[in-house]
Amino acid sequence: MMILNDIRFQWRHRFYFVYLLVCSLYLLLLHFIPSEYKETVAVLLTFSDPSALGLIFAGGILLLEKDQGIQDCLFVTPLRLREYLLAKAISLSLLSILAAWMIHGFSLGMPLSPIRFTVGVMLTSSLFTLLSIGIVVRTQTVNGFILLSQLFSFPFALPLLHLFDIGSRALFVFFPTYGSLLLIGTINRPVSSMETIYAVGIMMIGNTIAFLWAKHSFQQRVLLGITKGKST
């Protein structure tokens, strides 16, 4: 139910319309990219797409909820914080998957491994959504959120260097986003079973850590404030 409520909230505030516009711009860009670079650019866009969606949209949603007083109402219900966080991650992951398939369906066609590709997009979006929640509860303004989100997300972008043959693989294997690039890269190259196990495993570890951090941050910076406000 919470997932459906989040999807309705995103639809009501035109998140889907904004993302349709973003996808159209991506498709236009890919149309003008020379064919020898198109696949690399497509991987880059597909990685940045759920990353930006999870990071910016999740932060925007929480700021909207805070401004509208929605959080104060939600947490006097039996809703658990775990359900709230997972609903955010899942609803934005679904939007990311829809956008990724739209981009590739109209530009490059079917990925070599559709399941791996979809899992990569989903886990990338959920990772950055949870990261965003941990960040946004530490800020009071949109500008503060944007600044802090760039600071926190920068290390996760480092594996992109390997996409352009900068640095050795060993430098990036402990970054969850290196697993993202492996799975998303199945649009143009096969990935072995061992690579798939590694990629899913490192991303699940990253998602778990991000979830625990987001949960702790929300408890300390939002729920305690709501509780104190009701006790005074």
Q: Are 73 and 94 in contact (CB under 8 A)?
A: no
Neighbour count for residue 129 (Cβ, 10 Å): 31
Q: Which two tokens stand for residue 9?
A: 């909230």
Q: Which two tokens stand for residue 175?
A: 């970054």
Task: Say what the pLDDT of residue 225 is.
Answer: 67
pLDDT, tens digit, 9 for 90 and up, residues 182-196: 999 887 788 899 999
Q: Where are the alpha helices (DSSP H) in 170-192?
A: 176-184
Task: Say what the pLDDT of residue 100 is.
Answer: 87
The total number of structural domains in the chain stands at 1
Q: How far apart are CA 90 and CA 208, in angstroms?
A: 14
Domain range enclosing 66: 2-231
pLDDT in tens, the chain (232 residues): 788 988 998 888 888 888 888 888 888 888 888 888 888 888 888 888 777 777 888 888 888 888 887 777 766 666 788 999 999 999 999 988 988 888 887 777 788 899 999 999 999 999 999 999 999 999 888 888 989 998 999 999 999 998 888 888 889 999 999 999 999 988 778 889 999 999 999 999 999 999 999 999 999 888 876 655 555 5
Q: Are 156 and 100 in contact (CB under 8 A)?
A: no
Q: How far apart are CA 50 and CA 19, in angstroms?
A: 11
pLDDT, tens digit, 9 for 90 and up, residues 150-199: 899 999 999 999 888 888 888 999 999 999 999 998 877 888 999 999 99
